[in-house]
Amino acid sequence: MGVLAQYAQHLALGDNTPRITLGEGATPLVPAPRIGSPLGIELYLKFEGQNPTGSFKDRGMVMAVAKAIEQRSQTIICASTGNTSAAAAAYAAATGLRAVVVIPAGRIALGKLAQAIMYGADIVAIEGNFDAALTIVRGLAAGGEYTLVNSINPWRIEGQKTAAFEVVDVLGDAPDILAIPVGNAGNITAYAKGFREYRALGRSSKSPLLFGFQAAGSAPFVQGGPIDNPETVATAIRIGNPANWQLAHRAVAEFGGGFFAVPDEEILQAQRRIAREVGLFPEPASAAPVAGLVRLHREGGLPRGAVVVAVLTGNGLKDPDVASRSAEGAIVPVPADADAVRRAISG
Ligand code: AN7
């Protein structure tokens, strides 16, 4: 049914806000005991990779595009590490808007680029990183000709808060801990808003601690300020100068929790474990919270028995390069007969 219809009473929808949808939201909350039990926690994974364009961005984009249409905008624009551009392109296609996406050349996952191309966005690749792209689109949008749909657009946060509603609707209360990857920090801000609003309505009895996880080479929240040259295999969160710096800090101060860094190798290990021990395939950035929980447990920083929701923000199919790079040796063809196949699989 889509998040605008499902959560209409919690969103500022007017008579002139089109009720658009590509079927976003209502994503599964999957128990992950094989990972959670050894950590002494009750772990659930919110699989946002199941959204129409394969990431949580669809929740915010459907809202931002509905509001852009309400305000008679004809062109939306964004900077992106990939997923925002895929979502912007799809919802623009669905509604007949033009989407302009500015991306760091060579640094977005192949599947995400394929999406923007297929949905028909106008794509500009810059010789610079995401932070440079965001500065450029902010400047262009200031002219009033384009509607900016990065998460500094408050409607993005508004739509994305529905994921927190879903968590509470399914669990019957807020979890003890929300574990989430942090790039621009729009999503952690959105979850905080959702949990805050549901609690105020009596839908939950408590607020979760917010644990935000960044890649070690791209961890401005952990280092305490913007960084110039962020690097990580998790290209989705290769962001050095987060747009929602203050909102995210305020949310973590209010709820408790903190920001933590995880090295790329641990992110990739966690990605494989989620695939092999849960049966869900997240993209690298989305594995950061699980990698972080493992690390926190090792350091004694994870309360025993806690109900923890980790957000798997995007689908692993978007980044086939990373997945195939982690294959153990080449897959060498054998003759097309049963004996050859039996030999290949025995010991
Ligand atoms: C899979 O698409 O910033 O902290 O331009 O794609 O709200 O930024 C993506 C971010 C986590 C971080 N996981 O969320 C973009 C972009 C995935 C992501 C994040 C992103 P925020």
- DSSP characters over 153-184: SHHHHHHHTHHHHHHHHHHSS--SEEEEE-SS
CA-derived radius of gyration, the chain: 20
Cβ atoms of 18 and 96 closer than 8 Å: no
Q: Is the dihedral of CA 265, 105, 64, 121 positive or negative?
A: negative
Q: How far is the CA of 42 from the centre of ligand 1 (A)?
A: 25
| pLDDT(329) > 80 | no
| pLDDT(270) > 80 | yes
pLDDT of residue 323: 82
- Work out the average pLDDT over 292-319: 98
Q: Is the CB of 60 under 6 A from ligand 1?
A: no
Q: Is the CB of 151 under 6 A from ligand 1?
A: yes
| pLDDT(347) > 90 | no
- The protein residue whose alpha carbon is closest to atom 12 in ligand 1 is 183
Beta bridge partners of 307: 42
pLDDT of residue 273: 98
Beta bridge partners of 138: none
Q: How far is the CA of 183 from the centre of ligand 1 (A)?
A: 5
Cβ atoms of 136 and 79 closer than 8 Å: yes
Question: Three-state DSSP class for 196?
Answer: helix
User: What is the pLDDT confidence band of residue 122, given thresholds at 50, 70 and 90?
Assistant: very high
- Work out the average pLDDT over 300-310: 97
* Element holding 93 (H helix, E strand): helix 83-95
Residue type, 107: R
Greatest alpha-carbon pair distance for the chain in Å reads 68
Q: Is the CB of 189 under 6 A from ligand 1?
A: no
Q: CA dist 311 to 117, 146, 187, 191, Å? A: 27, 31, 10, 10
Report the half-sphere exposure of 335 (CA within 13 A, side-chain side): 6
**Closest atom, ligand 1, to C-alpha of 84:** 2
- Work out the average pLDDT over 224-249: 98
CA–CA distance, 136 with 184 (Å, rounded to integer):
16
pLDDT of residue 330: 75
Q: Is the CB of 183 under 6 A from ligand 1?
A: yes
Residue 119: which of 149, 88, 164 has the closest Cα? 88
Q: How far is the CA of 304 from the centre of ligand 1 (A)?
A: 29
Per residue in 51-109, pLDDT tens? 999 999 999 999 999 999 999 999 999 999 999 999 999 999 999 999 999 999 999 99
- Work out the average pLDDT over 162-177: 99
**Closest atom, ligand 1, to C-alpha of 86:** 2
Q: How far is the CA of 346 from the centre of ligand 1 (A)?
A: 42
What is the percent of the chain with per-residue pLDDT over 90, rounded to a whole number?
97
Exposed (0-12), middle (13-18) or buried (19+): which is 125, by Cβ within 10 Å? middle
Q: Is the CB of 283 under 6 A from ligand 1?
A: yes
Indicate the pTM of the whole model. 0.97
- Work out the average pLDDT over 278-286: 98
- The protein residue whose alpha carbon is closest to atom 10 in ligand 1 is 236
CA–CA distance, 146 with 227 (Å, rounded to integer):
28
Helices 284-298 and 264-277 sit at what angle, rounded to 10 degrees? 100
Strand residue runs (E) in the chain: 29-31, 42-47, 75-79, 98-104, 122-126, 147-148, 177-181, 209-215, 257-262, 307-312
pLDDT of residue 326: 72
Q: How far is the CA of 277 from the centre of ligand 1 (A)?
A: 24
pLDDT of residue 327: 73
What is the distance of C-alpha 20 from the center of its chain? 21
pLDDT of residue 51: 98
Q: How far is the CA of 234 from the centre of ligand 1 (A)?
A: 10
User: What is the pLDDT confidence band of residue 324, given thresholds at 50, 70 and 90?
Assistant: confident
Q: How far is the CA of 81 from the centre of ligand 1 (A)?
A: 7
Cβ atoms of 190 and 165 closer than 8 Å: no
Q: Is the CB of 236 under 6 A from ligand 1?
A: yes
Cβ atoms of 250 and 217 closer than 8 Å: no
Backbone angles phi, psi at 219, to 5 degrees: -125, 60
Average pLDDT, the chain: 97
Residue 108, phi-psi category: left (phi > 0), alpha (psi -120 to 50), beta (remainder): beta
Q: How far is the CA of 316 from the centre of ligand 1 (A)?
A: 14
- Work out the average pLDDT over 161-172: 99
- Work out the average pLDDT over 297-316: 98
Q: How far is the CA of 237 from the centre of ligand 1 (A)?
A: 6
Q: How far is the CA of 184 from the centre of ligand 1 (A)?
A: 7
**Closest atom, ligand 1, to C-alpha of 160:** 7
Q: What is the total residue count of the chain?
A: 347
Q: Is the CB of 284 under 6 A from ligand 1?
A: no
Ligand 1 probe mutation, 55, 77, 153, 188, most atoms within 8 A of CB: 55
